[in-house]
Amino acid sequence: MRLAYNLVLTGVVFAWVIATWPHFQPALKWSSLLPMSMLALIANLLYCAAYLVDLPLQRASRRLLGRGRWILWIAGTLFAMVLSSYWIVDEIYPDIH
Protein backbone atom coordinates (compact mmCIF):
# COMPACT_ATOMS: atom_id res chain seq x y z
CA MET A 1 0.00 0.00 0.00
CA ARG A 2 3.02 2.27 0.22
CA LEU A 3 3.00 2.69 -3.55
CA ALA A 4 -0.64 3.81 -3.49
CA TYR A 5 0.17 6.17 -0.60
CA ASN A 6 3.04 7.72 -2.55
CA LEU A 7 0.90 8.03 -5.69
CA VAL A 8 -1.84 9.83 -3.75
CA LEU A 9 0.64 12.29 -2.23
CA THR A 10 2.31 12.83 -5.60
CA GLY A 11 -1.12 13.56 -7.05
CA VAL A 12 -1.77 16.15 -4.34
CA VAL A 13 1.53 17.89 -5.08
CA PHE A 14 0.96 17.81 -8.86
CA ALA A 15 -2.56 19.19 -8.37
CA TRP A 16 -1.17 22.13 -6.38
CA VAL A 17 1.59 22.78 -8.92
CA ILE A 18 -0.77 22.59 -11.91
CA ALA A 19 -3.48 24.68 -10.25
CA THR A 20 -1.01 27.39 -9.26
CA TRP A 21 1.61 27.01 -12.00
CA PRO A 22 2.49 30.69 -12.49
CA HIS A 23 3.15 30.98 -8.77
CA PHE A 24 5.27 27.82 -8.44
CA GLN A 25 7.24 28.11 -11.67
CA PRO A 26 10.11 30.10 -10.08
CA ALA A 27 10.47 27.52 -7.29
CA LEU A 28 11.05 24.56 -9.61
CA LYS A 29 14.79 24.59 -10.09
CA TRP A 30 17.64 22.15 -9.45
CA SER A 31 18.46 23.69 -6.07
CA SER A 32 14.99 22.79 -4.79
CA LEU A 33 15.42 19.09 -5.63
CA LEU A 34 17.15 18.24 -2.34
CA PRO A 35 14.52 19.88 -0.08
CA MET A 36 11.71 18.21 -2.05
CA SER A 37 13.47 14.85 -1.76
CA MET A 38 13.79 15.34 1.99
CA LEU A 39 10.05 16.07 2.25
CA ALA A 40 9.32 12.85 0.33
CA LEU A 41 11.58 10.96 2.74
CA ILE A 42 9.77 12.46 5.73
CA ALA A 43 6.42 11.44 4.21
CA ASN A 44 7.62 7.85 3.92
CA LEU A 45 8.94 7.87 7.48
CA LEU A 46 5.54 9.04 8.67
CA TYR A 47 3.99 6.16 6.72
CA CYS A 48 6.03 3.84 8.94
CA ALA A 49 4.43 5.40 12.03
CA ALA A 50 1.23 3.56 11.10
CA TYR A 51 2.93 0.31 12.07
CA LEU A 52 2.68 1.40 15.72
CA VAL A 53 -1.07 1.01 15.38
CA ASP A 54 -1.08 -1.72 12.74
CA LEU A 55 0.95 -4.29 14.67
CA PRO A 56 -1.42 -4.39 17.68
CA LEU A 57 -4.32 -4.38 15.22
CA GLN A 58 -2.92 -7.51 13.59
CA ARG A 59 -3.18 -9.28 16.94
CA ALA A 60 -6.88 -8.41 17.11
CA SER A 61 -9.54 -10.77 15.89
CA ARG A 62 -9.54 -11.73 12.22
CA ARG A 63 -12.91 -10.07 11.69
CA LEU A 64 -11.55 -6.64 12.60
CA LEU A 65 -8.24 -7.11 10.84
CA GLY A 66 -9.21 -6.37 7.22
CA ARG A 67 -11.60 -3.51 7.91
CA GLY A 68 -9.43 -1.96 10.61
CA ARG A 69 -6.35 -1.93 8.44
CA TRP A 70 -8.24 -0.23 5.59
CA ILE A 71 -9.64 2.37 7.95
CA LEU A 72 -6.14 3.00 9.30
CA TRP A 73 -4.70 3.34 5.79
CA ILE A 74 -7.45 5.71 4.63
CA ALA A 75 -7.22 7.85 7.78
CA GLY A 76 -3.43 8.05 7.55
CA THR A 77 -3.52 8.88 3.85
CA LEU A 78 -6.14 11.60 4.38
CA PHE A 79 -4.05 13.04 7.20
CA ALA A 80 -0.97 13.02 4.93
CA MET A 81 -2.94 14.77 2.18
CA VAL A 82 -4.05 17.50 4.58
CA LEU A 83 -0.55 17.83 6.02
CA SER A 84 1.10 18.10 2.60
CA SER A 85 -1.48 20.65 1.44
CA TYR A 86 -0.89 22.67 4.61
CA TRP A 87 2.87 22.49 4.08
CA ILE A 88 2.54 23.73 0.49
CA VAL A 89 0.16 26.58 1.35
CA ASP A 90 1.80 27.75 4.56
CA GLU A 91 5.48 26.97 4.12
CA ILE A 92 6.22 26.94 0.40
CA TYR A 93 3.79 29.58 -0.92
CA PRO A 94 5.12 32.47 1.20
CA ASP A 95 8.73 31.81 0.16
CA ILE A 96 8.08 32.06 -3.56
CA HIS A 97 8.31 35.54 -5.03
Residue 64: the pLDDT is 60
- Confidence class of residue 15 from pLDDT cuts 50, 70 and 90? very high
Closest CA to 57 of 46, 69, 48, 47: 69
pTM equals 0.71
State what percent of residues in the chain have pLDDT above 90. 8
Residues 68-80 pLDDT 10s: 678 878 988 998 8
Domain boundaries, the chain: 2-95
